[in-house]
Amino acid sequence: MEPRISIVTLGVRSLETSRRFYTDLGFPTTRSVESGIIFFQTGGTCLALYPLEKLAQDVSPELSAKRTGFTGITLAYVARSKTEVDAVLDAAVAAGGVIEKIAQEVFWGGYSGYFSDPDGHLWEVAYADLWSFNEDGSLVIE
């Protein structure tokens, strides 16, 4: 297996609500709600939205689609500056998200905060001087 992630699929209650949220944040969509799944092309990885109940059934007919509490998964957007961290968090709130942790200096030497999307999926927005980017916008991890 090649060490890469091709698609991250989020189970959502409403395709239209989630499509609007991510579109308002600037994610370019490639499919409409009518197709039953929505894909957003991002730098190197695709973000997909799919109805939560259908996603649970796709995994296993016995799997419950109930989501309660912390799932142990966060998505992250690495910003190019502290100012961008604040701007992305503000944009998330304007699009209908909720701030879960205000942006602040953090123990690992960076600056970050968290928001949740309309379905409670958690996103960290972070900046650190030690991070750099490839030309395509992907993060360089050394």
Q: In this structure, what CATH number is given to the domain that contains residue 132?
A: 3.10.180.10
Contacting residues for 55 by C-beta, under 8 A, at least 6 apart: 9, 11, 65
Instruction: Mark whether 9 and 29 lie in a shared domain.
Output: yes
40 is in which domain, residue-wise? Answer: 1-62
Averaged pLDDT of the chain: 90
pLDDT tens sequence across 48-88: 999 999 998 888 888 777 777 788 899 999 999 999 999 99
Q: How many domains does the chain have?
A: 2
Strand-by-strand arrangement of the 38-41 sheet: 7-12, 46-51, 38-41
